[in-house]
Structure 1
Amino acid sequence: MGSWPTGRLLSVAARVLERRFDEALAGHGLTHAGLIALHHLVAGPLAQRPLAAQCRVAEQTMSRTIDRLARAGYVSRRPDELDRRRVVIELTEPGAGVLAALRRAERESEALLGSLADYEHFREQLIGLVVALERAEPEQIAQQAE
């Protein structure tokens, strides 16, 4: 593996980690989309459209995710006090509990990311990478590869 290009290493790591996270999430009746929605609801209740935007998914996808989360008891729905036509999604106590347990597992579980020597430094580097990649234009990437 020492000779592999960095892109391949990242790709393999992502696939392995995704499988492990899938197993951990399934044990709680969650998907990646559900976990992301719970994460965004920690800051407070949101209507479906802004929640979908924050999660970077279509409203239809968010609707299915919210349905699953509500059936599991991780979120509740209530009418918006300012606009009765809108429904607000709110994190429940069980939802906050499962999110906390999964965050703890990510940091501490050897099967997930707990085996990292410096978890916070690794996160900072990943955030920097994602930000840089999102800023890079596809044309720039193609030109640099030539």
Structure 2
Amino acid sequence: MGAGDPVASWPTGRLLSVAARLVEHSWQEFLATRGLTHAGLIALHLLREGPRTQRALAHGAKVTDQTMSRTVERLHRAGFVERGVDPVDRRRMVVSLTDEGREVHAEALRAEREEPEVLGAVRDYEAFRRQLVELVTVLGVDRTTSARPDPRG
């Protein structure tokens, strides 16, 4: 982008918004070709540490139990997870990764770092990721805490 390029003159917030939308679109296309959604990828990510109940998955993914139930159903149909009854509490459903689920999760993580059609022109993935984590962490602070001064004084 040169100095005469109108995109180069855009405010940073606009650049972030457009970049997020473009990455979201390319990421959705990538995931869809593998039978995944964003929610499904997050569920697989959470299951890397071991089996979890659907409720724990929902909590970890910050979605409703009903949303996670649909997500787990899709992942199960795709062969990425197995479902079973919790031996401790037979009323709960426990979800675990299959080998296929581990493979598709690993492929997505690799693509996120290496495939130009996923993140485009990011040259230093780790530095970019650190900046995003910092941005989300700082801006994501609960605005009712004392972490931010009250603008009313």
TM-score by length of 1: 0.91
Task: Tell me how large the CA RMSD over aligned residues is.
Answer: 1.8
Task: Tell me which residue corresponds to 1:98.
Answer: 104
1:113 shift after superposition: 2.4
Structure 2 counterparts to residues 40-55 of structure 1, below 5 A:
40-55=46-61
Higher alpha-carbon Rg: 2
1:15 shift after superposition: 0.6
Structure 1 consecutive aligned stretches of length 4 or more whose deviation exceeds 4 Å: 140-143
Deviations 1:11-70 (A, max 9, x none): 101110011011101101111110111111101111011110100101110010000000
SS in 2 for 1:84: coil
Structure 2 counterparts to residues 56-135 of structure 1, below 5 A:
56-113=62-119, 115-135=121-141
Provide the aligned length of Structure 1 versus Structure 2.
142
Which amino acid is 1:33 matched to?
A
* More displaced stretch, 74-83 vs 106-115: 106-115
Structure with the larger helix share:
1
SS in 1 for 2:10: coil
TM-score by length of 2: 0.87
SS in 2 for 1:78: strand
SS in 2 for 1:135: coil
Gaps of 5+ in 1: none
Which amino acid is 1:119 matched to?
Y
Which amino acid is 1:104 matched to?
R
Deviations 1:73-129 (A, max 9, x none): 000001112111111000110000001011111111111126422111111110011
Which amino acid is 2:26 matched to?
R
Cα distance change of structure 1 residues 58 and 141 upon mapping to structure 2, 3 Å threshold: farther
Q: 8 Å contact 1:38–1:91 — kept in the other structure?
A: yes
Which amino acid is 2:85 matched to?
P
